Amino acid sequence: MLTNILWLLGLIAVIVLFAWLTRRAWKSQRAWIKFPGVILLGLLSLGFALVTIVMGKGMYDLYRPYPVALVNVSIAGTTEQIARGEHLASVLCVGCHSQNGELPLVGGNDFSAETGLPLGEMYPPNITPAGKLNELTDADIFRILRSGVAPNGQLTAMSFFPLRSLSDEDALAVIAYLRQQKPVEGTRPPFNPSPLFAVFMGMGFMNIDAATAPIQSQSALAKAPNAEYGTYVAKFMSCTDCHGPTLSGDAPPPAPPGAPNITVIVPKWSKDDFFKAMRTGVDPEGHQIQSSMPWKLIGRLDDVELEALYEHLHGLTPVVKK
Ligand code: HEC
Ligand code: HEC
């Protein structure tokens, strides 16, 4: 936070400097200094002012409190619930909260290093009972999953990842599993967004909708291999994060580039093609799917979930882009 404030002050100093130089140029007697000088320096002052405003807004959004009320949750902790939670964790949480894509959730690699952009430190923490988990109540974890708001009311990096689409039942199953894990020691540095992150935030690139609305109860759909359940699976698997809101390709950064229009690809595939692509990483044309597409995690969905996802995607009207 301190670094970001210093950056903001530095930017303000640069604006003052350019504004002062603009005034100097304006007062110049020589036309060849006056006019080009005023235009160039004036534009620079304006440009820096714009960046400063955007960054200031981003910092406000990063550090302000988000008053999302906790909701009461109660967790039965039955064997089936824990098993469901373990399954979901092995599909949804390991991608970030582990270094090798496997349970246990001992903490992961710096997320910003993976995007290749200097976004600051963004380490998914150790969420086994030896790590952060013991500082959190069930209601705290539920709120983190739904809205990304930490016990102190501030945003966590979890707000940017739309796990909020998990039904109440599935979210509670995840919490039931988290509590049952074997404790594994290990810590990760805290979330420390960089000035660039603050600028992205100010530009509205980070979706914080989850943190600005009260927590809504979400009832579970009956698990079945149909398009309706598939819509739910696609939601909690965040396909739109990379494939765009209509799945017609490329979401804006920080999503990795190159996510194709799957509304035209999957309808051409058979169910077997789809299963093979997600479970082996090889598509019907023999193309090895890159690791920027999380096929390994998607392939861990069970047969019912994967078939439902296929039915959902197969039934989409192809979005044709000009
Ligand atoms: C896309 C990456 C990503 C995924 C997927 C993800 N997390 Fe996180 N998670 C993070 C990051 C980064 C933080 C650190 C946030 C912070 O400190 O601001 C975090 C923090 C947390 C915290 C602690 C929040 C706090 O600071 O008190 C909990 C609990 C948590 N995650 C649970 C989960 C669970 C459960 C799942 C799976 C259902 C999950 N996360 C999936 C990236 C992820
Ligand atoms: C983190 C970003 C990301 C997410 C999330 C993501 N994808 Fe992808 N996806 C990609 C990228 C990048 C490619 C291009 C990979 C390639 O061509 O090798 C891709 C390619 C694909 C392809 C085409 C593969 C081919 O060989 O033609 C399908 C189908 C697909 N994704 C389905 C999905 C589904 C379904 C989901 C959600 C369950 C999903 N993706 C989530 C990034 C993502």
pLDDT beyond 70 at 162:
no
Q: Are 186 and 93 in the same domain?
A: yes
Amino acid present at 159: S
Residue 251 lies in a domain: yes
Q: Are residues 284 and 310 in the same domain?
A: yes
Q: Binning pLDDT at 50, 70 and 90, where does residue 171 land?
A: very high
Cβ proximity of 158 and 148 under 8 Å: yes
pLDDT tens-digit series, residues 237-281: 999 989 999 999 988 777 788 999 999 999 999 999 999 999 999
Q: pLDDT value at position 232?
A: 96
What is the domain count for the chain? 3
CA–centroid distance, 141 to ligand 1, in Å, is 10
Atom of ligand 2 nearest to the CA of 238: 5
**CA 5 to CA 25: how far, in whole Å?**
30
pLDDT at position 132: 82
Ligand of minimum distance to the alpha carbon of 154? 1
What confidence tens digit (pLDDT) does each residue in 173-223 have? 999 999 999 999 999 999 899 999 999 999 988 888 889 889 999 999 999
Give the whole-angstrom CA distance, residue 188 versus residue 96.
12
In a domain, 177, yes or no: yes
- Do 204 and 242 belong together in one domain? no
Same domain, 241 and 199: no
Does residue 240's CB lie within 6 angstroms of at least one atom of ligand 2?
Answer: no
Query: What does the radius of gyration of the chain's CA atoms come to, in whole angstroms?
Result: 24
If asked whether residues 124 and 199 sit together in one domain, one would say yes
Whether residues 147 and 238 share a domain: the answer is: no
Provide the 10 A C-beta neighbour count for residue 55: 23
The pLDDT of residue 23: 93
Task: Answer yes or no: is 72 within a domain.
Answer: no
- Asked, for residue 241, whether it belongs to a domain, the answer is yes
Q: What average pLDDT does the chain have?
A: 93
Residue 310 inside a domain? The answer is: yes
Mark whether 105 and 202 lie in a shared domain.
yes
Range of the domain at 299: 227-314
Report the nearest-CA residue for atom 16 of ligand 1.
156
Assess whether pLDDT exceeds 90 at residue 138. Answer: yes
Q: Is residue 309 part of a domain?
A: yes
Tell me, yes or no, whether 219 lies in a domain.
no
